[in-house]
Amino acid sequence: MAPKFDYTSMGFITFDALCRPVTAIPPGGDTYFVDEFTLAVSGAAGSAVIVAAKHGLKARAVGGVGHDDMGDWVLMKLASFGIDISLMSRCEGFATSSSVVTTRPDGQRPALHKRGATDGFFIEDSEIEDLLDTKILHVGGVGLMNRMDDSGRTREIMAEARRRGVITTLDVFASTKADLPKVEALLPFTDYFLPSEEEASALSGLTGNRELAQFLIDRGARSVILTMGGNGAYYLDHDGQEIRSQAYDVDVKCTCGCGDCFNGGFATGLVKGLPLPAAVDLGQASSAQNATGLGSQAGVRDYQSTLEFMRRTARRPLL
């Protein structure tokens, strides 16, 4: 029997309020005016699942929100994309994970973040069977999932996913060297590890694409894809296969969620059976479209629009 879902995205799901352009925070009680303001569901799990749903995948979001207005809005917005929210938890004693994003004119996005229910949600034994009824399990936000990670539950779930033949993808949140033990515990059950170049360097202390990726493969990952913004993406697997994918050349409005949108686009390529280089390119296109709008996934419409974007958009040269 075919799995119930194509893509299940578990982990960091956040409420974002974004504005642009911001060049400075007003001093004292002053007010500065901005041109744009919007709300979005974001996060390493949230942005990815929305892109997958927009591309037509049967998608499920798994994580936590609080008993607050932000949580109400996050659940409403996820459901509006046709995403299953039956395993989203209302976490007692936690606010919804939320950010204020101050997008710079060049697209960079310094943020003020309130940690919240991502730290508090938990998958019970009785929910694991349902959770793993999926083609792909994406775990996004290691470093913010305290109850899941500290208890070993994330590792147990990924190990069981591997045993069942579920494809596993993994992403982190702004990692530091201190997060390496949490990540190392999951890499032996990870088919595709998807950190940014900066996150991989922070985890390993290394530089250089192949060295960064090999460090993570040596710790158990079958494949590593480094997302590198305007420099594209780099893929390496345990068999030594390398792929270098050029970034799409776009006018950048906001980079919030670009790596997370890559993950949803890449998963779309896997589900649709694209050759691996084409799946990486689809991730690149999803990331690039995201950068053209304010708020995660804003520039992504649907699968056909993404394919058309890929046909008509020039690529940046590889450095």
Strand-pairing partners, residue 196, are: 227
Distance of CA 93 to the CA centre of its chain: 25
Other beta carbons within 10 Å of 167 = 18
- Name the one residue in this structure whose structure tokens are 């929910």: 127
Helix (H) or strand (E) holding 137: strand 134-142
Q: How many angstroms separate the CA atoms of 97 and 99, rounded?
A: 7
Residue 174 binned pLDDT confidence (cut-offs 50, 70, 90): low
Residue type, 166: V
Running DSSP on this structure, what letter comes out for residue 209?
H
Alpha-carbon distances, residue 138 vs 18, 147, 172 (angstroms): 25, 18, 11
Residue of 275, 158, 276, 287 lying closest to 223 (CA atoms): 276
Are 16 and 99 in contact by the 8 Å Cβ rule? The answer is yes
Residue 301 pLDDT > 70: yes
Which helix (H) or strand (E) segment is 11 a member of? strand 5-11
pLDDT tens digits for range 122-146: 999 999 999 999 999 999 999 899 9
The percent helix, strand, coil of the chain (3-state, each to 5) is: 40, 25, 40
Q: Rounding to the nearest 10 degrees, give the CA dihedral for residues 71, 75, 78, 80.
A: -130
Q: Count the neighbouring beta carbons within 10 Å of the beta carbon of residue 306.
A: 22
**What is the pLDDT averaged over residues 45-73?**
98
Query: pLDDT exceeding 70 applies to what percent of the chain?
Result: 99
Nearest residue to 261 via CA among 293, 232, 283, 239: 283
Ranges 83-92, 110-119, 176-185, 187-196: which has the least confidence: 176-185
Q: SS3 of 256, please? A: coil
Cα–Cα dist 117/13, whole Å: 9
CA 127 to chain centre: 23
Q: Would you say how long the chain is, in residues? A: 319
Q: What is the mean pLDDT of residues 199-225?
A: 95
Give the mean model confidence (pLDDT) for residues 41-57.
Answer: 97
CA-based Rg of the chain, rounded to a whole angstrom? 18
pTM above 0.85, yes or no: yes
In a 10 Å sphere around its CB, with 0-12 CB exposed, 13-18 middle and 19+ buried, how is residue 301 labelled?
middle
